[in-house]
Structure formats: C-alpha cells, structure tokens
A and B are shown apart, each in its own frame.
Chain A
Amino acid sequence: MGVEGIGARVVRKEDKRFITGKGRYVDDIKLLGMTHAHFIRSPHAHAKVKGINSAEALKMPGVVAVLTGQEIVDDKVGNLICGWAITSKDGSPMKMGAWPAMAPETVRFVGQAVAVVIAESKNLARDAAEAVVVEYEELPAVADVHAAIKSGAPQLHPEASGNQVYDWVIGDEGATDAAFAKAANVVKLDVTNNRLAPNAMEPRAAIADYDAAEEHFTLYTTSQNPHVARLVLSAFYNIAPEHKLRVIAPDVGGGFGSKIFIYPEEMVALWASKKVGRPVKWTGDRTEAFLTDAHGRDHVTHAEMAFDANNKITGLKVKTYANFGAYMSLFSSSVPTYLYATLLSGQYNIPAIHAEVIGVYTNTTPVDAYRGAGRPEASYLIERLMETAARQLKVDPTALRRTNFITQFPHQTPVIMAYDTGDFNASLDAAMKAIDYDGFAGRKAKAKADGKLRGIGVSCYIEACGIAPSKAVGSLGAGVGLWESAEVRVNPVGTIEVLTGSHSHGQGHETTFCQLVAERLGVPISQVSIVHGDTDKVQFGMGTYGSRSAAVGLTAILKAMEKMESKAKKIAAHALEASEGDIVIENGEFKVAGTDKAIAFPMVALAAYTAHNLPDGMEPGLKESAFYDPTNFTFPAGAYICELEVDPGTGKTSFVNFVAADDFGRLINPMIVEGQVHGGLAQGIGQALLEHAIYDASGQPITASFMDYSMPRADDLPSFNLSHTTTLCPGNPLGIKGCGEAGAIGASAAVINAITDAIGKNNLEMPATPDRVWRTIHAA
C-alpha cells in the first residue's frame, strides 16, 4: 500500500488550514458592496399574515430594502420542492402543500420567514427588522403526530386532508398475517424515535452575487451538494438557467444531512441580490439553526415480531407515523419509506415483512435526512425488538441474534434490499470478545454490591449506503440519478488535480482521495490536489451524503484514473519503444516489466503536453473524466456492545465500555474511518441519552438553544473500543462499503438495551435522561 496509499493512516492534509484558522467558510467571504440580510420570522406556529408594514424600517439608517413573501411570489420564484415522489397504498400521489420561500399568507412553524431586511450591515438589518410590523392572526396549531391525525385537528394544508401526506406500504401483508397466525410467540413493542436538531458547528450561510451585465448569479453557500443546489435552483425555482448560475460550497463546517437541502434563505438571497443590485449575505445564528435547519427522525412506531417454537423469526409487522413538520423538505418523503422500511429486515432472515408508514404534517420545523436518515430508525426498532424478544423468550440476546442471522449471500430481503455480502457472526464475535461478554455476569454482581445497576446492551445494525443505482432509485420515485463524476487532470509537470462531484465538509476527502492516486501511481500525495465544491470547476456531481463518497465518488475517480493511466501507458510504451501491454506502474515510474527500462511519470505527462513524440493519431494532453453509477447499494454492518452503570439515586448513566466492530469493506484511511465512527457514535449516544427537539402542544419550540437542547460533550462519552471485520463489497472495484453513518445508526439501541438491562425494565424512551431513567426505576 505504500506510506500514503490505500490503508495508510495518513494525517489529514486539510487540517493545517482548519486548525490554524485559515479555513475559508462562507461567512469569511466578503464581496465589494455586499449587503446583509436579516429575516423576519414567525413567532407563531400557525397564523395568517394579515399585513406587513415596513414604512418605519425603510426610514432607518443603512436600510436598502424590506422584501416580503408576497413579492417573491409575485416575481414567480418557485415553491420549494420535494424531490422523491411517494405513492400511497391507494395509488394516489403524496399530498403536498405549497411552500413559498417566504410566507405570503400563512405561516406554519415558528421560525418561518415572512420578510427580509437588506441593509448595509447585519446589525442595521436587525435593528430595522425590529421596526417592521407584522400583523398575524393566530390559528390553532398542532405539533404531535397523534394529535395531528385526530379528526378535528388543526389542518395545515388544504391539499392534505387530515394532515396526511401519504399512507405507504411495503412488503407482503398476507404472508405476514399468515406468519403471525402460526406464530409460537409474538413480541410487541412501541417506540418513539426522538426528533433531533442537526447542529452542524458552522451555521448555514449564503452570499448571492448578481451580475446584471452578464445576467449571471454566483451563490456561495453551505452545501453538501452544490451541483444539486444549482440544478434545483435552475430547474424548479426559476432563479436562473444552469449556465448562468455558479454555486460554490467552499469549506463547510459539518452537515450531517442538514446541508443537502436547498433552503428558503438561499433562494431569497439570490432573488434579493438581483432586486437590490448588490451582493446579499445571510449568516444564520444558532437560534435560526434550531428553528430552520431540517430536523431529523421523529417517528412513532408500533411493531410486532413473530417467532416459531425454535425462536426463528417468521414475520414482522410495523406501523410508523412519521412527523414531517410543516412542509415537505427536499428528500423528506424518502426517509421514512425507502431509507427506513427497506432496512427492517436488519441482519436477520425474516421471511415475511409488512410495514405501513403514515407521513404527517405538524406545525413544526420540517424534518428530513439527518446522519443515517431512516436507517437509524429501522436499526433502533429492530434491535430494541430483538432485545425485547430475548427477554420475553428468556434466551441470551446474542444467541437469539445468531439463531436468526443471515449467513448466505447474496440475500434477498422481503423489503427490496438484496444484501451482497457480510459476516454478521464475525462482527458479533469480535464485539463480544472485545467487551468480555462472558465475564459480564460477574461484573454485574460486583457492581450490585457497590450499589450500582450495571447493564449490557447489544446492537447488530445493517445499513444501505453508497446511494445509489440510478435506475433503481428512479423506479422508486427519486427525481435524480445518484451516480458520481470525476475528472483527473495531469499537469505538464506531472502534478495531478482530481476534480470530484463529492463534497468534503469534514470527511477528509482531500486526503483519502489523494491516497487512491498515491496507491496507483506511487506519487506522493503532496503532488495531488482535490478540487470540489464549485460548479464552475467540476462539471457535475451529486454530492456527499448517505456514506457515498468513497463507495461512489472514489470509484468514479478510479474509473477516470484508469482511463488516464491507459493513455499514459501508451505514451510511455511509445517513448520506451515497448509494447503497451508490457508497461507497469511502480513508484512513480512507468516501466517495461522485467527490464530496467523506465520513464518517470512527470516525463510521461510532459510528453503528453509537448506532443513532440506521441503515438500516431493520439490527441495531446492527459486528462480524463468518468461517471460511475453503482450497481447496488453497499451494506455496511456491525455489532456494537455497550456496558454501563446506572446510579439508582439519580438515574444517571455512566459508561463502562463501548465496543464497535464494524464491517466497512476496504478502508482507505483507518484513522479517518475511526474519526467517522467516533463522531457517529457520539451522535447515536447523543440521541439515546441527551438530544431531543421538543415542542409544546401549541407548536412553540422548547429547545431552541444549547441551554435547553443537550448536545453530547466529551465527558458524556466513553473512550471507544473500535475494531473491524472485513468482507469486501463486491459491488465496486475498491470493495468499499462506507463508514460515515454507522455509528449514528447502531449506537442508540445498544445504549437503551444496556440501560433497560441495568434497571430491569424494558420500556424506556429516548432520550434516557437521568430524570426519565430515575422515574422508570421507581415506577410501580
């Protein structure tokens, strides 16, 4: 592999600029003549906008304009779209209410923008915003899914009667009912998957710059997928055609899914920039992030699992209510359907599955993909069910899992997914060994003598990543293809620029993608740079989410590298007077195999550009591009085991040990993979113990700051014990599965299984706050 090749723990190239404060984020960018936007947002969860009086604000110093929702509608800027069409079980399309970028008539969640002030500074814009008088007529609001579907509940959108977006089903209901009819045991569970606020370290921001002479827009924005942003802004929002809109996503400080979506603020900034004839900057603050970044999760589920007399699972029934908030965000419809219910088979051989998902509007912030997106909800449900079943059937939870593990691959589940490979016993073995599972009973007894309640919890997760085969997702309703593109540009001196449609916002692509080049050419990674995040530089790309950048994005780079190498070999063979088939690449040289004849890679590059002595008919230059469309999802899987103690006096949980044995296929940079797992586990544990975006019954957010919303901190987390068991993914040439979301998908069930084991009561909702655990311990 070489010191900088695939599998090497190369220190991240990008960290020098990040840790010395030299990162260039959207808010760091200042354009000549730039104005500043401040949004006026609804304090009500549901209200009619009766009037907006900006007369006083317009007289205030530095105010350039006050623009309203009615004006953006009048200018025919399109409503926000949802890019994945879901069909209800009765054959009807999902029911969507209109979502204008600023509300002209009705606001449906606290924080929805109704107007924007553009001023010479952010502070002047804020001052003027306080002088804008918005007259609201409050309407009854509803925040909870169960309340929202009751008859007589406040209605959000006339298009969606009963606040129901869709009622979608998957699987074979008849076969599942038959399995339950014959079951020896049935295990039932109600679970709530708590709503989370994504909380990227960098709040969202946008700068729009309209050039009237060229009729051209530039948008600097905090995006995980700048090309998708350009596509949507052009094709649906009527901002500008694609060739007249450049989208730049420079350094981006974390996304976790929340920066996939194109938000109203970006649309308004672009539109306003043209209206006022000057660049417009908006940088969200933390409160705006809590109110307007798409939230994650928020499912309420009832599930039943049928077992035969040998503890083999024979059927699974699931009914889930998914809270979408007030509007359908860009990919929201796919999250509780194709990203959730298709993973309900878990790691288990389940012959019959039937799931029904009811999507519901409420007067809350829109909900969309957040690290794991549907798969954490599926994994949490299945792994809580397995633990509940083990307790009910009085068998060891690891033994029950092993009884039901899928061991033959490929394996077709009853819910679309075809698992390509895996070894679930191997990862469970590794995790059990790492935590000394067999010694747990002794440790529990000793803890009891010290007055502590000790528990152990297992979670065996599987996820579908590397999204996705374009044809497959197209047939399921996706509005886009999910391939990736890459371009390899070799400069005349032999340095290399790799242009990628993937976007790095914490993933370390500037290092890992270079490692592939180093692996193949034997050149140092200092000779390679990764270019991403600019639609003027990179031709196209689908961006980074769903743990896809290595499995899909890097494979596209591999395809482009192969094309480039093929041409370079022809040039080398010509120069060395050898046959192309005899050329091998070693340590930065193109060699004639078995001889000492060689030409250094920079000389090959130079020959390509001088074009003095190329094979007949060959074009000069050394630059190749490729598009890669995956053939299947990838299926990272693993086993997490958590051991912890609960203080019966306070209900507080303290970790003893947390082991994670993951199968991610081939690892490009194990150090970066470990960092991804650490971050994912922190978010999964955060969901289990701390995080919860809460609304009161009237739709007012209770947790709109870090004083109330509990983010996990270092001292909330254990020192993680990580290991890897590897089956190479057969679906891509590098054998990569992806590692970005696993921790967030697998961790929460392990934690709740361990706490419920410790306290001896099975029913406990997330987050398991000390108060909630204490009340559960002491409940009758």
Chain B
Amino acid sequence: MYQTIYHRASSVDEAVSLFGKSSEAKFLAGGQTLLPVMKQRLASPSDVIDLGKIKELQGVELSGDVLTIKAGTTYFDIMQNADVKKVIPAIAYLTSVLGDPAVRYRGTIGGSIANNDPAADYPAALLALGATVKTNKRSISADDFFQGLFTTALEDGEIITAVSFPVPAKAGYEKMRHPASRFALTGVFVAQTKSGEIRVAATGASQSGVMRVPAIEAALKGNWSPSAIDGVSISASNLLADIHGTAEYRANLIKVMAQRAVAAAG
C-alpha cells in the first residue's frame, strides 16, 4: 500500500468538503474493493475518506410501496432486515449469496453500485427492480445510473446516500458463481412490477456491464413461467469470455438463471 491520509467523515457534507480539499481522494465505504486494490498498489489515492460512520447513511426504511436502503448499510444488515425480507425477499436472498460472511459484514450497497463491477450482484437488482439512486445532489434512475464496466453516472465527489426500490409484485434472483472469485459468473434478476411491467437484468455476462435482457422480458410478458423462456435464444456476441466461461456458456446461463429466478420468484 502507498501512503495515504485517512479521514473519518461524520456527515455527508463533511465528506464532500474533505473531498474538495484533497488532490486525489477516494471515498471508502465497506472497502471490499478499494482496500484490496490499494494493498496491491493498483490504486494510490492521496486521501481516503471513510463514510462508514456517517449515521445518515445507515438503515432501511419502508414507506408505502417504496423500500429505501441507505447507501452505507452493510450486506449483513440488509439480509437480516425484516422489511427487506418481507417486501422484497429476492434482495435478502441476493445479499445472502453475495461474497462470504467477512465481505457481508463490511460491504455496503452504496459501495457495490458505485464501483459497478460487471460481476457484482446489486446492479442487477437495481436495474430489474427499476430502482432510484439517491445522491447528495440528485436522484438517478437505475437505467441511467449504470453506464458500463466500472462506470456510473456519478460525478466527481458525488456521494450515493440511498437506493429506493419500488416494491414489486414478484422478484427472483439466481446466479452461477464464478468458480474462483465467487462473483457472479452470470446472475439474472427478474421482476414483475405492481403495474405489470416485466424487467429482467443480467450481471456478469455482458462486456458492457449489467444489462437488461429484452428477449426474456418479452417472453415473460403474459406468461410468467420458466417454460416461457424455453424458446428464447440469447446471442453470445458482446458477452464476456474468460477461462471460466465462454460467451456461449454465459448466453446459456442468462437463459437458465432467468428460468430459475422466475421459478424462485413464484
């Protein structure tokens, strides 16, 4: 690790102010990506601004048909939360299969989506559920937020404060784990909104990060069942390929995981 200056912010405003005073600062949420990268000397921020103790970034709120998870809430707290389990159990499940216990105690939803790793689980949930990302400056729809590998709509120094999920009629998530990293080799989140819209998002599969899967959405429209996807053909072009999964395999996984997610959603 290179030398860096550590700051612990006590409020979002203080964090923003600290960021403005530093030359190349990084916000630290759960540190599950930033710290390993710094340890390997692949990142050298001049300053690290820890958001972990900011009270306004903690907690889950259910208000009518909207579930709001504050950005600094850890995976462990999300998967344990009664409201999450009650209104969007698919999020509780996704969180329970994310990483390992050590990751779940430290990692946060805000950190995950700000990083937008192409194999992260949460981006698929946000995209399929049509969530809204709240920052210290504005609200951004999930459709606009995720902009490719490790790229989001966030501006320099902008801090995610919360994610709001409209409570769906049905939702499910299934993934095939990457054999080595245990990230999603391919994961698919399926959702049916209360207004009847079908939204399906796949993570780990596309060269441009999390993506909607229109072919599966179309197949599920009017026939919410695994077998509705039987005839769907997913193109392997523009999908990721590596030693653990060819593009063709990932195309197959999009379909198989979608079927299993629909089955899980009920």
The residues of A with any CB-CB pair to B shorter than 8 Å are 123, 126-127, 287, 649-652, 690, 692, 694, 702-703, 706-711, 769-771, 774-775
A774 touches B243 (CB 8 A): no
Chain A residue at smallest Cβ distance from B249: A771
Q: Is B21 an interface residue (CB 8 A)?
A: no
Mark contacts of B222-266 with chain A using CB atoms, 8 A cut-off: 1 yes-contact digit, 0 otherwise: 000000000000000000000111101100110010011000000
Write out the residue numbers on chain A whose beta carbons fall within 8 Å of the beta carbon of B181: 706-708
A703 to B244, CA, bound (A): 11
Write out the residue numbers on chain A whose beta carbons fall within 8 Å of the beta carbon of B249: 651, 770-771, 774-775
A692 to B243, CA, bound (A): 10
Q: A143 → chain B, closest Cβ, in Å?
A: 14
Known: A707-B181, A774-B252. A650 touches B176 (CB 8 A): yes
The residues of B with any CB-CB pair to A shorter than 8 Å are 1-2, 40-41, 176, 179-181, 243-246, 248-249, 252-253, 256, 259-260
A283 to B147, CA, bound (A): 41
Q: A5 → chain B, closest Cβ, in Å?
A: 41
A710 touches B256 (CB 8 A): no
A127 to B246, CA, bound (A): 39
A690 to B243, CA, bound (A): 11
A703 to B249, CA, bound (A): 20
The 10 closest A-B pairs by CB, nearest first: A710-B180, A649-B256, A710-B179, A771-B249, A707-B181, A771-B245, A708-B180, A650-B176, A690-B179, A694-B243
Q: Can you list 12 A-B pairs, Cβ within 8 angstroms, ordered by A?
A: A123-B1, A126-B41, A649-B252, A649-B259, A651-B249, A690-B179, A702-B243, A703-B243, A708-B181, A710-B244, A769-B179, A774-B249
Write out the residue numbers on chain B whose beta carbons fall within 8 Å of the beta carbon of A127: 2
B243 touches A708 (CB 8 A): yes
Known: A126-B41, A650-B256. A709 touches B245 (CB 8 A): no
Q: B233 → chain A, closest Cβ, in Å?
A: 14
Q: A69 → chain B, closest Cβ, in Å?
A: 24
Write out the residue numbers on chain A whose beta carbons fall within 8 Å of the beta carbon of B253: 650
Besides A708-B244, A711-B180, A771-B245, 6 other A-B contacts (C-beta < 8 A): A127-B2, A650-B252, A707-B181, A710-B180, A770-B176, A775-B249
Write out the residue numbers on chain B whose beta carbons fall within 8 Å of the beta carbon of A774: 249, 252
B246 touches A771 (CB 8 A): yes
B180 contact from A651, A652, A706, Cβ within 8 A: A706
Write out the residue numbers on chain A whose beta carbons fall within 8 Å of the beta carbon of B2: 127
Chain A residue at smallest Cβ distance from B2: A127
Q: A653 → chain B, closest Cβ, in Å?
A: 11
A771 to B180, CA, bound (A): 13
Known: A771-B246, A775-B246. A707 touches B180 (CB 8 A): yes
Q: B118 → chain A, closest Cβ, in Å?
A: 13
Q: B24 → chain A, closest Cβ, in Å?
A: 17
Write out the residue numbers on chain A whose beta carbons fall within 8 Å of the beta carbon of B244: 708, 710, 769, 771
Chain B residue at smallest Cβ distance from A702: B243
Q: A697 → chain B, closest Cβ, in Å?
A: 14
- Scoring A287, A694, A703, A770 by chain B CB atoms within 10 A of each residue's CB, the highest score goes to A770
Known: A707-B181, A771-B249. A652 touches B243 (CB 8 A): no
A126 to B248, CA, bound (A): 42
A770 to B243, CA, bound (A): 11
A703 to B181, CA, bound (A): 11
Q: B42 → chain A, closest Cβ, in Å?
A: 11
Chain B residue at smallest Cβ distance from A703: B243
A287 to B42, CA, bound (A): 13
Write out the residue numbers on chain B whose beta carbons fall within 8 Å of the beta carbon of A708: 180-181, 243-244
A709 touches B180 (CB 8 A): yes
A707 to B181, CA, bound (A): 4
A123 to B44, CA, bound (A): 14
Write out the residue numbers on chain A whose beta carbons fall within 8 Å of the beta carbon of B176: 650, 652, 770
Write out the residue numbers on chain A whose beta carbons fall within 8 Å of the beta carbon of B179: 690, 710, 769-770
Q: A701 → chain B, closest Cβ, in Å?
A: 11
Chain A residue at smallest Cβ distance from B250: A771
Chain A residue at smallest Cβ distance from B186: A650
Write out the residue numbers on chain B whose beta carbons fall within 8 Å of the beta carbon of A775: 246, 248-249
- Scoring B1, B2, B176 by chain A CB atoms within 10 A of each residue's CB, the highest score goes to B176
A652 to B176, CA, bound (A): 9
- Scoring A707, A710, A771 by chain B CB atoms within 10 A of each residue's CB, the highest score goes to A771
Q: A698 → chain B, closest Cβ, in Å?
A: 15
Write out the residue numbers on chain A whose beta carbons fall within 8 Å of the beta carbon of B246: 771, 775
Write out the residue numbers on chain B whose beta carbons fall within 8 Å of the beta carbon of A711: 180
A775 to B256, CA, bound (A): 14
Chain B residue at smallest Cβ distance from A286: B40
Write out the residue numbers on chain A whose beta carbons fall within 8 Å of the beta carbon of B259: 649
Write out the residue numbers on chain B whose beta carbons fall within 8 Å of the beta carbon of A123: 1
A9 to B249, CA, bound (A): 47
Q: B33 → chain A, closest Cβ, in Å?
A: 11
- Scoring B179, B253, B259 by chain A CB atoms within 10 A of each residue's CB, the highest score goes to B179
Q: B192 → chain A, closest Cβ, in Å?
A: 22
A694 to B256, CA, bound (A): 28
- Scoring B244, B259, B260 by chain A CB atoms within 10 A of each residue's CB, the highest score goes to B244
A649 to B188, CA, bound (A): 15
Q: B25 → chain A, closest Cβ, in Å?
A: 21
Chain B residue at smallest Cβ distance from A707: B181
Q: A681 → chain B, closest Cβ, in Å?
A: 18
A694 to B181, CA, bound (A): 16
Q: A99 → chain B, closest Cβ, in Å?
A: 28
Chain A residue at smallest Cβ distance from B252: A774
Write out the residue numbers on chain A whose beta carbons fall within 8 Å of the beta carbon of B256: 649-650
Q: A454 → chain B, closest Cβ, in Å?
A: 19
Q: A452 → chain B, closest Cβ, in Å?
A: 14
Write out the residue numbers on chain B whose beta carbons fall within 8 Å of the beta carbon of A769: 179, 244
Write out the residue numbers on chain B whose beta carbons fall within 8 Å of the beta carbon of A651: 249
A774 to B250, CA, bound (A): 11
A34 to B224, CA, bound (A): 68
Write out the residue numbers on chain B whose beta carbons fall within 8 Å of the beta carbon of A702: 243
Q: A716 → chain B, closest Cβ, in Å?
A: 8
A774 to B253, CA, bound (A): 10
Q: B221 → chain A, closest Cβ, in Å?
A: 23
Q: B67 → chain A, closest Cβ, in Å?
A: 30
Chain B residue at smallest Cβ distance from A692: B243
Q: A342 → chain B, closest Cβ, in Å?
A: 34
Write out the residue numbers on chain B whose beta carbons fall within 8 Å of the beta carbon of A650: 176, 252-253, 256
A457 to B243, CA, bound (A): 26
Q: B136 → chain A, closest Cβ, in Å?
A: 32
Write out the residue numbers on chain B whose beta carbons fall within 8 Å of the beta carbon of A694: 243
Chain A residue at smallest Cβ distance from B245: A771
A597 to B157, CA, bound (A): 89
